[in-house]
Structure 1
Amino acid sequence: MKQLLLLLTLGFASCTTVPDADDLPKDPKALPSIILLKGDTVTKYSTDSLAKGRPTLLYYYGPGCLPCDTLTQKMLASIDTLKDVNLLFLSAGSFHDVKVYQDKYNVEQFPNVKLGLDYNNTFFRYYGGQAYPLLVFYDKDRQIKRANLGAMPLDTIRAIIDK
Protein backbone atom coordinates (compact mmCIF):
# COMPACT_ATOMS: atom_id res chain seq x y z
CA MET A 1 0.00 0.00 0.00
CA LYS A 2 2.82 2.42 0.87
CA GLN A 3 4.51 1.65 -2.44
CA LEU A 4 1.30 2.40 -4.33
CA LEU A 5 0.94 5.70 -2.51
CA LEU A 6 4.56 6.57 -3.30
CA LEU A 7 4.07 5.73 -6.98
CA LEU A 8 0.92 7.86 -7.16
CA THR A 9 2.68 10.75 -5.47
CA LEU A 10 5.64 10.54 -7.85
CA GLY A 11 3.27 10.27 -10.80
CA PHE A 12 1.39 13.41 -9.79
CA ALA A 13 4.62 15.27 -9.10
CA SER A 14 5.87 14.48 -12.59
CA CYS A 15 2.74 16.11 -14.06
CA THR A 16 3.53 19.57 -12.76
CA THR A 17 4.88 21.98 -15.31
CA VAL A 18 8.14 23.76 -14.81
CA PRO A 19 8.57 26.98 -16.74
CA ASP A 20 11.11 26.88 -19.53
CA ALA A 21 14.20 28.99 -19.04
CA ASP A 22 12.99 31.18 -21.94
CA ASP A 23 9.68 31.64 -20.13
CA LEU A 24 11.27 33.05 -16.96
CA PRO A 25 11.53 36.82 -16.67
CA LYS A 26 14.93 38.35 -17.25
CA ASP A 27 14.29 40.52 -14.21
CA PRO A 28 12.55 38.48 -11.48
CA LYS A 29 11.19 41.69 -9.93
CA ALA A 30 9.55 42.82 -13.18
CA LEU A 31 5.88 42.36 -13.98
CA PRO A 32 5.66 39.17 -16.07
CA SER A 33 3.65 38.97 -19.26
CA ILE A 34 0.35 37.41 -18.22
CA ILE A 35 -2.32 36.81 -20.82
CA LEU A 36 -5.92 36.92 -19.65
CA LEU A 37 -8.67 35.23 -21.58
CA LYS A 38 -11.99 36.99 -21.12
CA GLY A 39 -15.23 35.26 -20.19
CA ASP A 40 -16.30 35.32 -23.85
CA THR A 41 -13.46 32.76 -24.44
CA VAL A 42 -12.22 34.77 -27.43
CA THR A 43 -10.87 38.12 -26.27
CA LYS A 44 -7.36 38.21 -24.82
CA TYR A 45 -5.66 40.88 -22.77
CA SER A 46 -1.99 41.01 -21.73
CA THR A 47 -0.23 42.76 -18.89
CA ASP A 48 2.04 44.13 -21.63
CA SER A 49 -0.95 46.26 -22.74
CA LEU A 50 -1.35 47.99 -19.37
CA ALA A 51 -1.02 51.74 -19.18
CA LYS A 52 2.61 52.63 -18.53
CA GLY A 53 3.71 54.85 -15.65
CA ARG A 54 0.94 53.63 -13.32
CA PRO A 55 1.10 51.25 -10.37
CA THR A 56 -0.40 47.81 -10.98
CA LEU A 57 -2.30 45.52 -8.65
CA LEU A 58 -2.78 41.88 -9.60
CA TYR A 59 -5.74 40.43 -7.74
CA TYR A 60 -5.92 36.63 -7.83
CA TYR A 61 -9.43 35.63 -6.79
CA GLY A 62 -11.28 32.38 -6.63
CA PRO A 63 -14.82 31.41 -7.51
CA GLY A 64 -16.91 30.95 -4.39
CA CYS A 65 -14.30 32.68 -2.21
CA LEU A 66 -16.18 34.74 0.37
CA PRO A 67 -13.17 36.93 1.32
CA CYS A 68 -12.65 37.60 -2.40
CA ASP A 69 -16.27 38.66 -2.83
CA THR A 70 -16.03 40.96 0.18
CA LEU A 71 -12.77 42.53 -1.01
CA THR A 72 -14.17 43.00 -4.51
CA GLN A 73 -17.25 44.74 -3.12
CA LYS A 74 -15.07 47.05 -1.01
CA MET A 75 -12.80 47.86 -3.95
CA LEU A 76 -15.73 48.67 -6.21
CA ALA A 77 -17.43 50.77 -3.54
CA SER A 78 -14.28 52.90 -3.33
CA ILE A 79 -13.04 52.56 -6.91
CA ASP A 80 -12.24 56.29 -7.02
CA THR A 81 -9.34 55.62 -4.63
CA LEU A 82 -7.92 53.13 -7.15
CA LYS A 83 -8.63 54.98 -10.41
CA ASP A 84 -4.92 55.65 -10.98
CA VAL A 85 -4.01 51.95 -10.63
CA ASN A 86 -3.97 49.22 -13.28
CA LEU A 87 -6.15 46.63 -11.59
CA LEU A 88 -6.24 43.07 -12.94
CA PHE A 89 -8.64 40.48 -11.59
CA LEU A 90 -7.13 37.08 -12.41
CA SER A 91 -8.78 33.72 -11.98
CA ALA A 92 -7.62 30.18 -12.38
CA GLY A 93 -11.21 28.95 -12.35
CA SER A 94 -13.15 28.26 -15.52
CA PHE A 95 -14.48 30.46 -18.31
CA HIS A 96 -17.88 30.11 -16.73
CA ASP A 97 -16.54 31.35 -13.37
CA VAL A 98 -14.94 34.38 -15.02
CA LYS A 99 -18.18 35.21 -16.83
CA VAL A 100 -20.23 34.83 -13.63
CA TYR A 101 -17.81 37.10 -11.70
CA GLN A 102 -17.92 39.72 -14.45
CA ASP A 103 -21.71 39.59 -14.59
CA LYS A 104 -21.99 39.73 -10.81
CA TYR A 105 -19.63 42.68 -10.24
CA ASN A 106 -19.32 44.32 -13.67
CA VAL A 107 -15.73 45.29 -12.82
CA GLU A 108 -14.78 46.16 -16.39
CA GLN A 109 -17.11 49.14 -16.42
CA PHE A 110 -14.07 50.96 -15.04
CA PRO A 111 -11.37 51.79 -17.60
CA ASN A 112 -8.47 50.80 -15.34
CA VAL A 113 -9.86 47.33 -14.51
CA LYS A 114 -9.49 44.09 -16.47
CA LEU A 115 -10.78 40.65 -15.55
CA GLY A 116 -9.97 37.31 -17.09
CA LEU A 117 -8.84 33.74 -16.86
CA ASP A 118 -5.11 33.11 -16.54
CA TYR A 119 -5.41 30.20 -18.94
CA ASN A 120 -1.64 29.66 -19.22
CA ASN A 121 -1.33 29.58 -15.40
CA THR A 122 1.45 32.16 -15.61
CA PHE A 123 0.37 33.85 -12.39
CA PHE A 124 0.32 30.54 -10.56
CA ARG A 125 3.77 29.59 -11.83
CA TYR A 126 5.32 32.90 -10.71
CA TYR A 127 3.53 33.53 -7.43
CA GLY A 128 2.20 30.18 -6.28
CA GLY A 129 -1.41 31.28 -5.90
CA GLN A 130 -2.22 28.54 -3.42
CA ALA A 131 -5.00 30.46 -1.67
CA TYR A 132 -7.32 33.37 -2.31
CA PRO A 133 -7.20 36.30 -2.39
CA LEU A 134 -3.61 36.95 -3.37
CA LEU A 135 -2.63 40.56 -4.07
CA VAL A 136 0.61 41.43 -5.87
CA PHE A 137 1.63 45.08 -5.97
CA TYR A 138 3.84 46.66 -8.64
CA ASP A 139 5.13 50.22 -8.78
CA LYS A 140 4.80 52.57 -11.75
CA ASP A 141 8.04 51.15 -13.18
CA ARG A 142 6.54 47.63 -13.15
CA GLN A 143 8.79 46.43 -10.35
CA ILE A 144 7.31 44.27 -7.61
CA LYS A 145 6.71 45.98 -4.29
CA ARG A 146 4.94 43.35 -2.25
CA ALA A 147 2.70 40.31 -2.34
CA ASN A 148 0.02 39.69 0.25
CA LEU A 149 -2.01 36.56 0.89
CA GLY A 150 -5.47 37.32 2.24
CA ALA A 151 -7.81 40.26 2.16
CA MET A 152 -6.68 43.61 3.48
CA PRO A 153 -8.37 46.91 4.24
CA LEU A 154 -8.63 49.30 1.34
CA ASP A 155 -6.65 52.00 3.15
CA THR A 156 -3.79 49.52 3.58
CA ILE A 157 -3.95 48.64 -0.13
CA ARG A 158 -3.79 52.34 -0.97
CA ALA A 159 -0.89 52.90 1.44
CA ILE A 160 1.13 50.11 -0.21
CA ILE A 161 0.42 51.55 -3.64
CA ASP A 162 1.52 55.03 -2.52
CA LYS A 163 4.64 53.87 -0.66
Structure 2
Amino acid sequence: MKQLLLLFALGLASCTPAPHADDMPKDPKALPPIVLLKGDTVSKFSTDSLAKGRPTLLYYYGPGCLPCDTFTQKMIAAMDTLKDINLLFISAGSFHDVKLYQEKYNVEKFPNVKLGLDYNNTFFRYYGGQAYPLLVFYDKNRQIKRANLGSLPLDTVRAIIDM
Protein backbone atom coordinates (compact mmCIF):
# COMPACT_ATOMS: atom_id res chain seq x y z
CA MET A 1 0.00 0.00 0.00
CA LYS A 2 2.83 2.40 0.89
CA GLN A 3 4.48 1.71 -2.47
CA LEU A 4 1.24 2.44 -4.29
CA LEU A 5 0.88 5.71 -2.38
CA LEU A 6 4.47 6.64 -3.21
CA LEU A 7 3.92 5.91 -6.90
CA PHE A 8 0.75 8.00 -6.86
CA ALA A 9 2.57 10.91 -5.20
CA LEU A 10 5.44 10.69 -7.69
CA GLY A 11 2.95 10.62 -10.53
CA LEU A 12 1.30 13.79 -9.26
CA ALA A 13 4.66 15.49 -8.82
CA SER A 14 5.57 14.73 -12.41
CA CYS A 15 2.39 16.46 -13.57
CA THR A 16 3.80 19.90 -12.75
CA PRO A 17 4.11 21.55 -16.15
CA ALA A 18 7.45 22.85 -17.27
CA PRO A 19 7.65 26.63 -17.45
CA HIS A 20 6.30 27.97 -20.69
CA ALA A 21 8.94 29.86 -22.64
CA ASP A 22 6.74 32.99 -22.73
CA ASP A 23 6.54 33.01 -18.92
CA MET A 24 10.26 32.96 -18.34
CA PRO A 25 12.82 35.71 -18.80
CA LYS A 26 15.18 35.36 -21.75
CA ASP A 27 18.04 35.73 -19.26
CA PRO A 28 17.82 32.82 -16.77
CA LYS A 29 19.42 34.99 -14.07
CA ALA A 30 16.81 37.75 -14.46
CA LEU A 31 13.86 38.26 -12.14
CA PRO A 32 10.91 36.38 -13.71
CA PRO A 33 7.54 38.07 -14.25
CA ILE A 34 5.54 36.82 -11.27
CA VAL A 35 1.99 38.07 -10.82
CA LEU A 36 0.60 37.98 -7.29
CA LEU A 37 -3.11 37.94 -6.57
CA LYS A 38 -3.86 39.84 -3.38
CA GLY A 39 -6.01 38.50 -0.55
CA ASP A 40 -9.04 40.39 -1.85
CA THR A 41 -8.88 38.05 -4.92
CA VAL A 42 -9.20 41.06 -7.24
CA SER A 43 -6.06 43.19 -6.95
CA LYS A 44 -2.87 42.02 -8.63
CA PHE A 45 0.76 42.96 -8.33
CA SER A 46 3.59 42.05 -10.72
CA THR A 47 7.33 41.88 -10.24
CA ASP A 48 7.50 44.07 -13.36
CA SER A 49 6.11 46.97 -11.29
CA LEU A 50 8.70 46.75 -8.51
CA ALA A 51 10.78 49.85 -7.80
CA LYS A 52 13.79 49.77 -10.10
CA GLY A 53 17.36 50.15 -8.84
CA ARG A 54 16.65 48.35 -5.56
CA PRO A 55 17.57 44.82 -4.44
CA THR A 56 14.66 42.38 -4.27
CA LEU A 57 13.95 39.51 -1.92
CA LEU A 58 11.34 36.94 -2.89
CA TYR A 59 10.08 35.17 0.22
CA TYR A 60 8.13 31.96 -0.51
CA TYR A 61 6.20 31.01 2.61
CA GLY A 62 3.61 28.42 3.42
CA PRO A 63 0.51 28.42 5.58
CA GLY A 64 1.07 26.80 8.94
CA CYS A 65 4.86 26.89 8.49
CA LEU A 66 6.37 27.65 11.91
CA PRO A 67 9.81 28.62 10.57
CA CYS A 68 8.03 31.00 8.15
CA ASP A 69 6.05 32.59 11.00
CA THR A 70 9.21 33.04 13.06
CA PHE A 71 11.14 34.50 10.13
CA THR A 72 8.26 36.87 9.29
CA GLN A 73 8.16 38.12 12.88
CA LYS A 74 11.91 38.74 12.82
CA MET A 75 11.68 40.63 9.53
CA ILE A 76 8.85 42.82 10.83
CA ALA A 77 10.83 43.62 13.97
CA ALA A 78 13.85 44.61 11.85
CA MET A 79 12.02 46.25 8.94
CA ASP A 80 14.09 49.43 9.37
CA THR A 81 17.10 47.46 8.14
CA LEU A 82 15.14 46.10 5.16
CA LYS A 83 13.29 49.24 4.06
CA ASP A 84 15.62 49.81 1.08
CA ILE A 85 14.69 46.55 -0.67
CA ASN A 86 11.68 45.25 -2.57
CA LEU A 87 10.24 42.46 -0.44
CA LEU A 88 7.66 40.09 -1.88
CA PHE A 89 5.84 37.58 0.32
CA ILE A 90 4.73 34.86 -2.07
CA SER A 91 2.17 32.40 -0.75
CA ALA A 92 2.00 28.73 -1.45
CA GLY A 93 -1.43 28.53 0.11
CA SER A 94 -4.85 29.74 -0.91
CA PHE A 95 -6.54 33.14 -1.20
CA HIS A 96 -7.87 32.60 2.29
CA ASP A 97 -4.36 31.88 3.60
CA VAL A 98 -3.03 35.08 2.00
CA LYS A 99 -5.76 37.11 3.65
CA LEU A 100 -5.14 35.49 7.05
CA TYR A 101 -1.38 36.06 6.80
CA GLN A 102 -1.90 39.71 5.94
CA GLU A 103 -4.34 40.14 8.82
CA LYS A 104 -2.00 38.36 11.22
CA TYR A 105 1.22 40.18 10.29
CA ASN A 106 0.03 43.30 8.43
CA VAL A 107 3.24 43.30 6.36
CA GLU A 108 1.81 45.52 3.65
CA LYS A 109 1.81 48.46 6.04
CA PHE A 110 5.44 48.78 4.93
CA PRO A 111 5.71 50.56 1.55
CA ASN A 112 8.40 48.20 0.25
CA VAL A 113 6.42 45.00 0.95
CA LYS A 114 3.86 43.18 -1.20
CA LEU A 115 2.08 39.96 -0.29
CA GLY A 116 0.02 37.70 -2.49
CA LEU A 117 -0.73 34.35 -4.04
CA ASP A 118 1.24 33.23 -7.06
CA TYR A 119 -1.92 31.90 -8.70
CA ASN A 120 -0.13 31.03 -11.97
CA ASN A 121 2.50 29.01 -10.05
CA THR A 122 5.29 30.87 -11.84
CA PHE A 123 7.47 30.93 -8.72
CA PHE A 124 7.02 27.21 -8.15
CA ARG A 125 7.70 26.34 -11.77
CA TYR A 126 10.72 28.61 -12.02
CA TYR A 127 12.38 27.85 -8.68
CA GLY A 128 10.91 24.47 -7.87
CA GLY A 129 9.96 25.66 -4.39
CA GLN A 130 9.16 22.45 -2.59
CA ALA A 131 9.77 23.53 0.99
CA TYR A 132 9.39 26.68 3.04
CA PRO A 133 10.73 29.18 3.53
CA LEU A 134 12.57 29.73 0.27
CA LEU A 135 14.43 33.03 -0.07
CA VAL A 136 15.58 34.27 -3.48
CA PHE A 137 17.83 37.33 -3.58
CA TYR A 138 18.16 39.67 -6.57
CA ASP A 139 20.50 42.62 -6.94
CA LYS A 140 19.47 46.14 -7.95
CA ASN A 141 19.82 45.13 -11.62
CA ARG A 142 17.28 42.31 -11.14
CA GLN A 143 19.91 39.60 -11.50
CA ILE A 144 19.81 36.62 -9.15
CA LYS A 145 22.42 36.57 -6.42
CA ARG A 146 21.44 33.58 -4.33
CA ALA A 147 18.61 31.28 -3.34
CA ASN A 148 18.37 29.80 0.12
CA LEU A 149 16.11 27.06 1.42
CA GLY A 150 15.27 27.79 5.03
CA SER A 151 15.32 30.98 7.03
CA LEU A 152 18.51 32.90 7.69
CA PRO A 153 19.63 35.23 10.46
CA LEU A 154 18.69 38.79 9.51
CA ASP A 155 22.32 39.94 9.60
CA THR A 156 23.04 37.27 6.95
CA VAL A 157 20.06 38.45 4.91
CA ARG A 158 21.41 42.01 5.11
CA ALA A 159 24.92 40.86 4.15
CA ILE A 160 23.60 39.05 1.07
CA ILE A 161 21.61 42.12 0.05
CA ASP A 162 24.68 44.33 0.46
CA MET A 163 27.04 42.03 -1.50
Q: TM-score range by the shorter chain?
A: over 0.9
Q: Report matched runs for 1:55-94 at 5 Å.
A: 55-94=55-94
- What is the aligned partner in structure 2 of residue 18 from structure 1? 18
Q: Deviations over 1:30-74 (max 9, x none)?
A: 000000000000000000000000000000000000000000000
Larger Rg, first or second structure (1 or 2): 1
Unaligned runs of 5+ in 1: none
Identity %: 84
| Structure 1 position 92, deviation (Å) | 1.6
In the alignment, structure 1 residue 113 sits paired with structure 2 residue 113: yes
**For residues 23 and 47 of structure 2, what CA distance do their matches in structure 1 show?**
15
Change (3 A) 1:9 1:153: closer
Secondary structure of the 1:102 match is helix
Unaligned runs of 5+ in 2: none
| Structure 1 position 8, deviation (Å) | 4.8
**For residues 9 and 112 of structure 1, what CA distance do their matches in structure 2 show?**
38
**For residues 10 and 73 of structure 2, what CA distance do their matches in structure 1 show?**
41
**For residues 78 and 146 of structure 1, what CA distance do their matches in structure 2 show?**
21
Secondary structure of the 2:157 match is helix
| Structure 1 position 140, deviation (Å) | 0.2
Secondary structure of the 1:27 match is coil
| Structure 1 position 10, deviation (Å) | 7.8
**For residues 9 and 66 of structure 2, what CA distance do their matches in structure 1 show?**
31
Q: Deviations over 1:100-148 (max 9, x none)?
A: 0000000000000000000000000111111000000000000000000
Tell me if structure 1 keeps the 8 A contact 2:19–2:126: no
Secondary structure of the 2:25 match is coil
- What is the aligned partner in structure 1 of residue 154 from structure 2? 154
**For residues 42 and 29 of structure 1, what CA distance do their matches in structure 2 show?**
30
State the superposition RMSD in angstroms: 2.1
**For residues 144 and 27 of structure 1, what CA distance do their matches in structure 2 show?**
10
| Structure 1 position 79, deviation (Å) | 0.2
**For residues 23 and 37 of structure 1, what CA distance do their matches in structure 2 show?**
16
In structure 2, give the amino acid aligned to 1:82. Answer: L
- What is the aligned partner in structure 2 of residue 101 from structure 1? 101
Change (3 A) 1:74 1:44: same
> Runs of 4 or more off by more than 4 Å in structure 1?
4-11
- What is the aligned partner in structure 2 of residue 127 from structure 1? 127
- What is the aligned partner in structure 1 of residue 45 from structure 2? 45
**For residues 96 and 5 of structure 1, what CA distance do their matches in structure 2 show?**
29
Say how many residue pairs are matched. Answer: 163
